[in-house]
């Protein structure tokens, strides 16, 4: 990217395209002490109060700076490198981390070891990168006292409270309001598909594990849906077009949200999966369409439940798993309560927590 001048106009060119930069766009970015708060990087002026007819009286390029005199008497020195970063209209940090597809052949699970000052360490940065690549990470040796999971979550960002509370205890209990609180096997599912918005990341912390069963299971919804797209595009298409109703009811609340089972972004790329077949209700569409929808959902369910895609592992006490609830499905194998205790604590955080932390650590370590 190059900045060029021509008769008091500023242009950028990337080799093939050359375009004029709007003078107002540059005026909004003046950065002197009078115009920008150094600490917060927030403007000290309101650009909506400026006259729209901002013009450039004089412009000059020195080594690393673009110097401009505007017609309203303001003069500014803008770093050319910083300008270059502004020409991507998207989040370049997250886009730079490519998702790695995985299935049951995934051998190396990327584990991290909890240690002092963990949340401000380079390891934490590596952990977050790994999280965005694989959709999950496991952290060993995380203290289990005093609901430490809440402290853990709040050290990355903020706990996302739900109707299950700030955090929840996963162990079998009488009269449960969710099958999670039994000793039954749980097929791969995403959590809280009925919430608006769906919590992004689930943390699960193993406190006690005295049973032989109760293995944790994970499936990469990204891998499965990309495979479905290749194998049966009609199935993929209908599952990414029809919005179904997810609903949760207990004595205090009725939660409801509508979404596709495979949600795509504006570029028709993977965005999110929701899967919880005890809770989804498709609207009453014409019979032919529903025929295809039911076949597609069955196929998707078979793939989610197949050995081909599932990894299984045992969480030991002090292990904490952090998983992307928009990308992965999770479940567990059944266990015998007679054998002893199985006790996990869980909570949620949202992407702004991990993204905010990632950007902070990138800045801190100049990465
Ligand atoms: Fe769950």
- The predicted-structure confidence for 134-165, as pLDDT tens digits, reads as follows 999 999 999 999 999 999 999 999 999 998 89
What is the phi-psi region of residue 180: left when phi exceeds 0, alpha when psi lies from -120 to 50, beta otherwise? alpha
Q: What is the pLDDT of residue 52?
A: 87
CB 154 within 8 A of CB 350: no
CA–centroid distance, residue 116 to ligand 1 (Å): 30
CA–centroid distance, residue 46 to ligand 1 (Å): 46
Q: What is the pLDDT of residue 183?
A: 86
Please give the model's pTM, rounded to 2 decimal places: 0.90
Cα–Cα distance for residue pair 203/138, rounded to 1 Å: 10
Q: What is the pLDDT of residue 32?
A: 86
CA–centroid distance, residue 191 to ligand 1 (Å): 5
Continuous segment of H or E residues that includes residue 281:
strand 280-281
Would you report the helix, strand and coil content of the chain in percent, each value rounded to 5? 30, 30, 45
Confidence at 1, pLDDT banded by 50, 70, 90:
confident
Helix ranges, the chain (H): 23-27, 80-85, 92-95, 122-134, 148-156, 221-231, 233-239, 287-305, 351-364
CA–centroid distance, residue 223 to ligand 1 (Å): 19
Q: Name the DSSP letter for residue 194.
A: T
CA–centroid distance, residue 170 to ligand 1 (Å): 10
Tokens 């910083």 belong to residue? 82
Confidence at 188, pLDDT banded by 50, 70, 90:
very high
CA–centroid distance, residue 252 to ligand 1 (Å): 20
Q: Is residue 93 over pLDDT 90? A: no
CA–centroid distance, residue 188 to ligand 1 (Å): 8
CA–centroid distance, residue 189 to ligand 1 (Å): 6
In a 10 Å sphere around its CB, with 0-12 CB exposed, 13-18 middle and 19+ buried, how is residue 362 labelled? middle
Mean pLDDT check: name the lowest of 81-85, 282-286, 319-323.
Answer: 81-85
CA–centroid distance, residue 165 to ligand 1 (Å): 14
Closest to 119 (Cα-Cα) out of 366, 363, 357: 357
Distance of CA 99 to the CA centre of its chain: 11
CA–centroid distance, residue 126 to ligand 1 (Å): 26
Q: What is the pLDDT of residue 83?
A: 83
CA–centroid distance, residue 248 to ligand 1 (Å): 13
pLDDT tens digits, 227-240:
999 999 999 999 99
Cα–Cα distance for residue pair 357/363, rounded to 1 Å: 10
Q: Is residue 181 over pLDDT 90? A: no
CA–centroid distance, residue 73 to ligand 1 (Å): 60
CA–centroid distance, residue 326 to ligand 1 (Å): 12
Number of Cβ atoms within 10 Å of the Cβ of 122: 11
CA–centroid distance, residue 93 to ligand 1 (Å): 29
Query: What rounded mean pLDDT belongs to the chain?
Result: 93
Cα–Cα distance for residue pair 351/330, rounded to 1 Å: 18
Q: What angle do CA 88, 351, 347 make, to 5 degrees?
A: 175
Which tokens go with 123?
A: 């390891």
CA–centroid distance, residue 238 to ligand 1 (Å): 25
CA–centroid distance, residue 325 to ligand 1 (Å): 9
CA–centroid distance, residue 192 to ligand 1 (Å): 8
Q: What is the pLDDT of residue 163?
A: 87
Which tokens go with 259?
A: 């979404």
pLDDT above 70: percentage of residues in the chain: 99
CA–centroid distance, residue 208 to ligand 1 (Å): 18
CB 136 within 8 A of CB 323: yes
DSSP-based three-state secondary structure for 146: helix
Closest to 118 (Cα-Cα) out of 274, 320, 290: 320
Q: Can you point out the beta strands (E) in 73-191? A: 75-79, 111-113, 136-140, 168-170, 186-189
CA–centroid distance, residue 330 to ligand 1 (Å): 6
CA–centroid distance, residue 240 to ligand 1 (Å): 22
Q: What is the mean pLDDT of residues 47-74?
A: 92
Q: What is the pLDDT of residue 365?
A: 96
Q: Is residue 107 over pLDDT 90? A: no
Q: What is the mean pLDDT of residues 241-246?
A: 98
Which tokens go with 178?
A: 């969710």
Q: What is the mean pLDDT of residues 359-367?
A: 94
Number of Cβ atoms within 10 Å of the Cβ of 85: 10
Q: What is the mean pLDDT of residues 10-31?
A: 90
Tokens 């992407």 belong to residue? 351
CA–centroid distance, residue 180 to ligand 1 (Å): 7
């Amino acid at each position: 990217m190059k900045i060029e001048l021509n008769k008091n106009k500023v242009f950028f060119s990337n080799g093939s395209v050359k375009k004029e930069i709007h003078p107002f766009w540059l005026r909004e970015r003046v950065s002197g002490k009078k115009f920008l708060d150094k600490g917060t990087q927030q403007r000290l002026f309101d650009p909506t109060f400026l006259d729209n007819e901002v013009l450039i009286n004089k412009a000059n390029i020195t080594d690393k700076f673009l110097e401009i005199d505007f017609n309203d008497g303001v003069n500014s020195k803008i770093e050319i490198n910083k300008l270059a970063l502004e020409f991507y209209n998207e989040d370049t940090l997250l886009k730079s981390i490519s998702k790695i597809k995985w299935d049951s052949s995934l051998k190396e699970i990327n584990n991290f070891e909890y240690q002092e000052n963990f949340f401000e360490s380079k390891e934490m940065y590596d952990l977050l990168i790994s999280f965005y690549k694989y959709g999950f990470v496991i952290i060993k040796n995380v203290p289990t006292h005093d609901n430490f999971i809440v402290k853990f979550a709040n050290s990355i960002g903020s706990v996302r409270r739900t109707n299950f509370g700030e955090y929840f205890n996963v162990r079998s209990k009488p009269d449960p309001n969710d099958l999670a609180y039994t000793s039954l096997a749980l097929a791969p599912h995403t959590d809280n598909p009925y919430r608006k918005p769906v919590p992004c990341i689930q943390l699960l912390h193993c406190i006690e594990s005295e049973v032989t069963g109760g293995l944790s299971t994970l499936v990469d919804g990204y891998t499965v849906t990309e495979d479905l797209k290749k194998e049966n595009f009609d199935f993929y298409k209908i599952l990414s077009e029809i919005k179904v109703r997810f609903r949760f009811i207990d004595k205090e609340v009725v939660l409801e949200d509508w979404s596709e089972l495979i949600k795509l972004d504006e570029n028709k790329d993977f965005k999110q999966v929701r899967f919880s077949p005890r809770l989804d209700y498709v609207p009453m569409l014409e019979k032919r369409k529903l025929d295809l929808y039911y076949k597609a959902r069955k196929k998707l369910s078979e793939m989610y439940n197949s050995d081909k895609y599932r990894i299984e592992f045992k969480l030991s006490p002090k292990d904490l798993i952090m998983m992307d609830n928009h990308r992965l499905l999770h479940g567990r194998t059944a266990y015998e309560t007679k054998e002893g205790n199985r006790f996990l604590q869980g909570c949620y955080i949202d992407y702004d927590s991990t993204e905010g932390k990632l950007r902070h650590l990138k800045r801190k370590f100049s990465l």
